[in-house]
Copies of this chain bind each other. A is one copy, B any other.
Amino acid sequence: MTMNVLLTGAFGRVGTAIIDHLADRDEYNFTYLNRSDREEYETFVADVSNYEEMRPAFDDQDAVIHLAGYPETDGSWKQILENNIVGMYNTLEAAKDAGVPKFVFGSTNHVVGMYEVEFAPELYELDFDLTVDEDSPRRPDSYYGSSKSFDEDLGRYYVENYQSPEQFYALRICSVRHEEYDHPYGDAEHGVDEGEWERDSPEYEEKVARMKGMWQSRRDLAHQVDCCLQDDDVEFDVFYGVSDNDRRWFDIEHAREVLGYDPQDNGEEWDAPPEGR
């Protein structure tokens, strides 16, 4: 049977990874909700800060993957309040009102970002001993991270109080890149390129080491979302979205055990920048 899946914030880095890897699958029938449309995709144009505008997109959906929101730690209070706090309330309300049973939420490592701030740059080294898991106290590093922590709590409240949605998965995604930069050597937007730091400079080496720890390849992200869509057991749970990187400090054993997450990539596979860079 085909599962109808609503993808909000569909055309960002994470959304396009899901589209690239899952949209062709027979099990899924995707609807793309985004603030602006794209030539190549049929788009439900709506802003998640406007409940009335977005609500019709939730009819007849079996799952929502909620990625829409301000996506970075530099968000001002106003941007975060409207897009990530009110936006999450609107999305949970719309899902409840339409009876959508499954909710996959694009949370972020920045819910616990202060561990990195505290232990960087030693944290990026291969032998540094820290594991942040789903039980670690939350230590947000920004309004952005604080809002995603709130969103996780609000999702749990809807599941436990309304039983609607019936299932909620918070994926604390680390670093998913644009398709053309799907490796720890990054992209201009995230600073690991020759434009910003001279290659082989200490800053460049540190940034690459960090990315080798934080990277979640596009196929690993899409596979993890697929695990959530296929799962029948979770009511509420929190997982880290990261590849099986030797340098990672975020736990993936919980995702392996509960979801069957089986990442294929490891940031150490890249020991030099890809050809032509």
Instruction: Write the residues of chain A forming the contact surface with B, with a CB cutoff of 8 angstroms.
Output: 77, 81, 85-86, 89, 114, 117, 135, 137-143, 145-147, 149-150, 153-154, 156-157, 160-161
Residues of B contacting A139 in the complex (Cβ-Cβ under 8 angstroms) = 156-157, 160
User: Could you give 14 example pairs across A and B, Cβ below 8 Å?
Assistant: A81-B86, A114-B156, A114-B161, A117-B161, A135-B137, A138-B153, A140-B153, A140-B156, A142-B157, A142-B161, A146-B150, A146-B154, A146-B157, A149-B150
What's the least CB distance linking A6 to chain B, in Å? 22
Judge whether B137 and A157 touch: CB under 8 Å: no
CA distance A176 to B135 in the complex (A): 30
CA distance A81 to B90 in the complex (A): 13
CB nearest to A152 among chain B residues = B138
Other A-B pairs, 12, CB within 8 Å; known A139-B160, A141-B157: A81-B89, A85-B85, A114-B157, A117-B161, A138-B153, A139-B157, A141-B160, A143-B154, A145-B157, A146-B153, A146-B154, A149-B149
CA distance A202 to B178 in the complex (A): 62
What's the least CB distance linking A110 to chain B, in Å? 10
Residues of B contacting A86 in the complex (Cβ-Cβ under 8 angstroms) = 81
CB nearest to A158 among chain B residues = B146
Judge whether A160 and B81 touch: CB under 8 Å: no
Residues of B contacting A145 in the complex (Cβ-Cβ under 8 angstroms) = 157
What's the least CB distance linking A268 to chain B, in Å? 30
CA distance A114 to B81 in the complex (A): 25
What's the least CB distance linking A143 to chain B, in Å? 8
